[in-house]
């Protein structure tokens, strides 16, 4: 719709004050369709969008159509576990030496019965969610039954994280203080303000070591770094990887035997604890970043790879997960270091549900993850999905029934769930089966057809037009989809029906000018209503002045005598005719008896009259002493005026 307006310079009526006559007023027709000031024109009776009547708006379109093919319906496959090579079992694990050690590994016996595999206790608070009920182990998943969060996302009891020596069940190096014992002067003491420090370092070297780590992983007491260390202890050294006592899903003696062989082989050939050498005796290359570790610089040593192999403290990370190796505990494979978790996964698949390694002959592969065959289950109902169709939602698998019960939309027509085998047609938060998407009046299918919406009901285009469409105020026909609609002051017209009230020609998208209840094209409005100059009688289209309620072109408003333009100039009038100041003074003004110049009164100038003589205020002075006589008594002496004192003096002089 095109909306126009006219700037009328004469809207406020005439004004005799000549100071206003220099304003640049005129009549201008302009397009104000997008001007916010006129945004309500023609919309006085407009209803909210959801109650909008008429089909002048495009017929509605579906927000989306969810085809069953759009769902990722998956099916798990069965995999065969490879046999783990039987490496000679041993219950002895080499543990790295202390600071400055250059002698290789020191063997220490792992005592399974002395392992302290502290883990999350029932009721432990969730770190990331507002779980008020606390941790409760799922019967076989690694998650909480209340908040569905992982075990490692819950907090350990205070002072229960201990250290890697406690967790592995081995004796720490001689002289290493125990966690929680504050011995500030003992090297490696946790009393330095950290939950863990490398054994054997002085306080100064501890600070040097910690300064080289990223700030967020420094295990300061009661800091986020301490909580991260506790979490990494549980993640990198899962207790089910360390002791058969915590494996709940070894279903046969054969699986238990293979598990024990794997653990023994790992302990002998791979698992170890590094140490920090505070001053290396020769330069070496960092095994990770290839940067140079200078002589006497601090380095982390992994004895399994030899004392000549070192890392910057921040580079001692797992090759797989890139996390700092907790308490310097590592496993070696192919000349690279790993956390125990990812080392184990290089050899055995890990069940994504229970987090245990899989030693069964067969297991399930799905979602690019591995599962015990009886653990690949619906996230909602725990029914097995092995060999069954399932659907992914938020990275979790759901059986078809649970997915439809929990996530399927309800059809607005039949009130039944829209299953994954049906198309889901949606519009404005409403959903329909494909066969339920019908016109509310004639019941024909609206699939792939234009439709209209009214009062939460849908209609085909014909039924909508007949029931709700607005009609043209010109021809009384309805507005159909795609038709242009012209609106003004609550009235609507088809494009071809929106015509000038005078010439009857279609205005279309051209500008127009409203007058009362009618609209006019520009030429017709000028002919019938435009303001015309009082002198030349032509239309004033731009710029103009008013004088005594009459409009003038600026160039037509001239002095009656000399025809010079008066627009923006001082002027006065005589017998209803305008004159410039000069002409008025020459033709009509009285003249000052003193200076003989015209007295025009323009600009509010005051003058004095006495008998037939006149003076400017400034010229009304004593002829002898030049004192102003305005408002004072005076005496005339011929053509002169005198103050009383000068008149008296003149009289006395004459008498003498």
Instruction: Please answer whether residues 500 and 474 qualify as being in contact, where contact means their C-beta atoms are separated by less than 8 angstroms.
Output: no
Between 346 and 451, where is the model more confident?
346
H or E element that contains 336: strand 336-338
Helix, strand, or coil here: 537? coil
- Separation of alpha carbons 200 and 390, rounded Å: 54
Residue 328 CB partners (closer than 8 Å, separation 6+): 96, 164, 198, 273, 274, 275, 276, 300, 316
User: What is the pLDDT, as a whole number, of residue 72?
Assistant: 60
Instruction: Give mean pLDDT, residues 440-466.
Output: 85
Q: What is the pLDDT of residues 317-326, one digit of tens each?
A: 999 999 999 9
Annotated domain spans of the chain = 121-149, 156-171+191-369, 416-468, 483-529, 532-588, 621-654
Instruction: Please answer whether residues 608 and 630 qualify as being in contact, where contact means their C-beta atoms are separated by less than 8 angstroms.
Output: yes
Question: Which DSSP category does 403 fall into?
Answer: H
User: What is the pLDDT, as a whole number, of residue 279?
Assistant: 92
Domains 156-171+191-369 and 416-468 share a fold: yes
- Domain covering 156-171+191-369, topology: 2.10.110
Highest mean predicted confidence (pLDDT) among 14-18, 288-292, 525-529: 288-292
Residue 89 banded pLDDT, cuts 50, 70, 90: very low
- Separation of alpha carbons 421 and 411, rounded Å: 14
Closest residue by Cα to residue 376 from 358, 353, 399: 353
Between 44 and 651, where is the model more confident?
651
pLDDT tops 90 at residue 305: yes
**Which residues on neighbouring strands pair with residue 351, listed in sequence order?**
370
Q: For residue 84, with 0-12 CB atoms within 10 Å meaning exposed, 13-18 middle and 19 or more buried, which class applies?
A: middle
User: What is the pLDDT, as a whole number, of residue 11?
Assistant: 36
Instruction: Give mean pLDDT, residues 73-86.
Output: 57
Residue 177 banded pLDDT, cuts 50, 70, 90: very low
User: What is the pLDDT, as a whole number, of residue 439?
Assistant: 92
Query: Which CATH number does the domain 483-529 belong to among 3.40.1280.10, 1.25.40.80, 2.10.110.10, 3.30.379.10?
Result: 2.10.110.10
- Separation of alpha carbons 139 and 153, rounded Å: 18
Residue 284 CB partners (closer than 8 Å, separation 6+): 292, 293, 299, 308, 309, 310
- Separation of alpha carbons 568 and 547, rounded Å: 12
pLDDT tops 60 at residue 184: no
Report pTM: 0.54
Instruction: Please answer whether residues 10 and 21 qualify as being in contact, where contact means their C-beta atoms are separated by less than 8 angstroms.
Output: no
Residue for token digits 């993850």?
A: 369
DSSP string across 166-194:
HHHT-PPPTTPPPTT---TTSTT-GGGTB
Between 75 and 619, where is the model more confident?
619
Q: What is the pLDDT of residues 584-623, one digit of tens each?
A: 777 777 778 888 777 766 555 677 888 778 888 888 888 8
- Separation of alpha carbons 333 and 260, rounded Å: 19
Closest residue by Cα to residue 85 from 256, 253, 349, 266: 266
pLDDT tops 60 at residue 448: yes
DSSP string across 491-523:
EEEEGGG-B-TTT--B-TTS-EEEETTEEEEHH
Between 319 and 116, where is the model more confident?
319
pLDDT tops 50 at residue 510: yes
Structure tokens at 553: 């072109």
Closest residue by Cα to residue 91 from 176, 170, 173, 174: 170
Cα 341 vs. chain centroid, distance in angstroms?
39
User: What is the pLDDT, as a whole number, of residue 556?
Assistant: 86
Q: What is the CA radius of gyration of the chain?
A: 50
Instruction: Give mean pLDDT, residues 405-418.
Output: 88
User: What is the pLDDT, as a whole number, of residue 498?
Assistant: 83
Query: Which CATH number does the domain 532-588 belong to among 3.90.79.10, 3.40.50.720, 1.10.20.10, 2.10.110.10?
Result: 2.10.110.10
pLDDT tops 60 at residue 91: no
User: What is the pLDDT, as a whole number, of residue 266?
Assistant: 93
- Domain covering 416-468, topology: 2.10.110
């Amino acid at each position: 719709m095109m909306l126009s307006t006219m700037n009328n310079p004469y809207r406020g009526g005439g004004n005799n004050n000549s100071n206003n006559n220099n304003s640049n007023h005129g009549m201008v027709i302009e397009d104000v369709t997008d001007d916010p000031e006129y945004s309500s024109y023609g919309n006085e009776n407009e209803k909210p969008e959801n109650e909008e009547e008429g089909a002048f708006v495009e017929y509605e379109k579906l927000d989306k159509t969810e085809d069953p093919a759009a769902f990722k319906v998956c099916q798990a496959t069965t995999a065969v576990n490879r046999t783990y090579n039987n490496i000679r079992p041993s219950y002895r694990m080499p543990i790295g030496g202390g600071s400055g050690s250059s002698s290789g590994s020191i063997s220490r016996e792992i005592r399974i019965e002395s392992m302290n595999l502290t883990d999350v206790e029932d009721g432990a608070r969730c770190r990331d969610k507002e779980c008020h009920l606390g941790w409760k182990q799922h019967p076989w998943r690694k998650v909480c039954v209340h908040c569905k969060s992982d075990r490692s996302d819950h907090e350990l009891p205070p002072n229960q994280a201990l250290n890697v020596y406690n967790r592995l069940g081995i004796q720490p190096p001689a002289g290493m203080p125990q966690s929680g014992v504050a011995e500030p002067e003992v090297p490696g003491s946790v009393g330095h303000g950290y939950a863990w420090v490398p054994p054997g370092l002085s306080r100064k070297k501890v600070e040097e070591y910690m300064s080289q780590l990223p700030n967020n992983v420094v295990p300061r007491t009661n800091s986020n770094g301490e909580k991260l260390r506790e979490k990494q202890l549980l993640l990198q050294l899962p207790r089910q990887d360390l002791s058969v006592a915590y494996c709940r899903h070894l279903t046969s003696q054969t699986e238990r035997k293979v598990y024990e062989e794997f653990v023994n082989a790992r302990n002998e050939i791979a698992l170890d604890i590094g140490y920090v050498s505070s001053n290396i005796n020769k330069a070496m290359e960092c095994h990770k970043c290839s940067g140079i570790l200078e002589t006497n610089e601090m380095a982390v040593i992994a004895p399994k790879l030899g004392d000549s192999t070192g890392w910057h403290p921040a580079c001692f990370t797992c090759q797989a997960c890139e996390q700092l190796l907790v308490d310097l505990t590592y496993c070696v494979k192919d000349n690279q270091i790993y956390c125990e978790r990812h080392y184990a996964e290089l050899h055995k698949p890990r069940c994504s549900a229970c987090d245990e390694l899989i030693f069964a002959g067969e297991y399930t592969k799905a979602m690019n993850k591995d599962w015990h065959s009886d653990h690949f289950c619906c996230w909602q109902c725990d029914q097995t999905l092995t060999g069954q169709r399932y659907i992914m939602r938020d990275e979790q698998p759901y059986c078809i029934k649970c997915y439809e019960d929990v996530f399927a939309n309800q059809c607005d027509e039949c009130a039944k769930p829209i299953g994954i085998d049906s198309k889901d047609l949606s519009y404005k938060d409403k959903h329909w089966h494909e066969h339920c998407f019908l016109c509310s009046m004639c019941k024909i299918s609206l699939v792939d057809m234009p439709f209209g919406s009214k009062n939460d009901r849908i209609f085909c285009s014909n039924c909508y037009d007949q029931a709700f469409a607005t009609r043209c105020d010109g021809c009384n026909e309805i507005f159909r989809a795609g038709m242009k609609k012209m609106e003004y002051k609550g009235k609507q017209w088809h494009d071809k029906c929106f015509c000038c009230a005078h010439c009857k020609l279609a205005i279309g998208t051209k500008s127009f000018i409203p007058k009362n209840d009618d609209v006019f094209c520009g030429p017709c409005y000028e002919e019938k209503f435009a303001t015309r100059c009082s002198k030349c009688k032509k239309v004033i289209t731009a710029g103009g002045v008013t004088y005594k309620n009459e409009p003038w072109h600026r160039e037509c408003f001239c002095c009656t005598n000399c025809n010079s333009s008066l627009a923006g100039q001082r002027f006065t009038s005589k017998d209803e005719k305008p004159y410039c100041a000069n002409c008025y003074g020459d033709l009509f003004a009285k003249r000052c008896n003193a200076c003989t110049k015209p007295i025009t009164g323009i600009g509010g100038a005051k003058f004095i009259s006495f008998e037939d003589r006149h003076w400017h205020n400034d010229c009304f002075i004593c002829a002898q002493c030049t004192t102003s006589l305005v408002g004072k008594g005076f005496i005339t002496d011929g053509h002169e005026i005198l103050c009383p004192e000068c008149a008296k003096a003149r009289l006395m002089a004459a008498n003498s």
